[in-house]
């Protein structure tokens, strides 16, 4: 009798585990295999020492838990994709605006606005400019403040430097001792918004990429 009741429970569970498509089809296929294995187990058990119905219940509960976990994971993946697309759509309005972040800036001949943040205990500070190869091409003094600074992009002779990406660092000094060296945030035009790995990424003029979460300011270049 115990075996008959367990079989009925299994059949009832099988009917409730219908599979619409995708991963659910795979789950349904696995469940059919599980039923066949369970049926063989029941048919070949020792009639003098039958398997307790509670053991079947445990097996069914375990499979059901796995099925529910797979479906939950699929649901979370779907929600993540929807949220990522929604965030990207909301930030599509950023295209054409200038975002501020600690990334290399594209020098196209026009001055670049820098947003340094020297250490508050420093008595002087310098901006170090490096080209795309990491070579230092310029260094100049700035006030010890968080006020914006303009880099003209001109060399010592007053000629524009080569076009391309340049990175900036602020070095804070106490006397002649360098206290700390930090990357400088710059304003760059947003040319594209992408979704990568569930995160919204901004592509800046010149090809630099930055996560939207790392942007500290946004402004209209026409204002």
pLDDT in tens, 11-66: 444 444 444 455 555 555 566 776 777 777 777 776 767 766 666 667 666 766 66
| CB atoms inside a 10 Å sphere around CB 74 | 14
- Which stretches does DSSP call E strand in the chain? 98-101, 105-107, 112-115, 124-130, 136-142, 149-151, 164-174, 177-183, 185-196, 199-204, 209-211, 217-219
Measured distance CA(25)–CA(31) in Å, rounded? 10
Q: Which long-range contacts (CB under 8 A, 24 or more apart) does 92-96 make?
A: 92/193, 94/190, 94/193, 94/202, 94/212, 94/218, 95/190, 95/191, 95/192, 95/193, 96/189, 96/190, 96/221
Q: Classify each residue of 132-156 as buried b or exposed e, where b means 16 or more C-beta atoms within 10 Å of its C-beta.
A: eeeeeebeeebebeeeebebebeee
Strand partners, 127: 140, 170
pLDDT at 11: 44
Q: Give the single-character DSSP code of 86.
A: H
pLDDT at 220: 86
pLDDT at 95: 85
Q: Angle at the Cα of 81 (from 79 to 86), degrees rounded to 5?
A: 95
Residue 163 near residue 107 (C-beta atoms within 8 A): yes
Q: Give the single-character DSSP code of 72.
A: H
Average pLDDT per run of 10 along the chain, which is 223 residues long?
A: 42 44 54 71 71 66 68 59 54 82 92 91 94 94 92 93 95 91 92 82 88 86 75
């Amino acid at each position: 009798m115990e075996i008959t009741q367990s079989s009925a429970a299994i059949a009832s569970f099988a009917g409730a585990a219908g599979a619409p498509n995708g991963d659910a089809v795979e789950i349904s296929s696995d469940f059919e295999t599980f039923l066949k294995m369970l049926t063989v187990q029941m048919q070949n058990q020792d009639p003098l020492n039958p398997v307790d119905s509670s053991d079947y219940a445990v097996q069914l509960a375990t499979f059901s838990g796995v099925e529910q976990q797979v479906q939950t994971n699929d649901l979370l993946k779907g929600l993540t994709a929807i949220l990522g697309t929604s965030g990207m759509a909301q930030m599509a309005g950023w295209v054409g605006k200038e975002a501020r972040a600690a990334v290399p800036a594209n020098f196209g001949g026009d001055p670049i606005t820098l947003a340094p943040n020297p250490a508050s205990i420093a008595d002087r500070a310098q901006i170090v400019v490096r080209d795309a190869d990491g070579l230092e091409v310029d260094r100049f003094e700035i006030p010890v403040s968080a006020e914006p600074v303009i880099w003209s992009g001109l060399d010592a002779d007053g000629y524009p430097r080569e076009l391309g990406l340049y990175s900036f660092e602020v070095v804070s000094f106490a006397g002649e001792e360098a206290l700390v060296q930090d990357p400088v945030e710059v304003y760059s035009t947003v040319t594209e918004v992408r979704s990568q790995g569930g995160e919204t990424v901004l592509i800046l003029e010149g090809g630099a990429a930055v996560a939207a979460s790392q942007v500290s300011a946004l402004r209209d270049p026409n204002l």
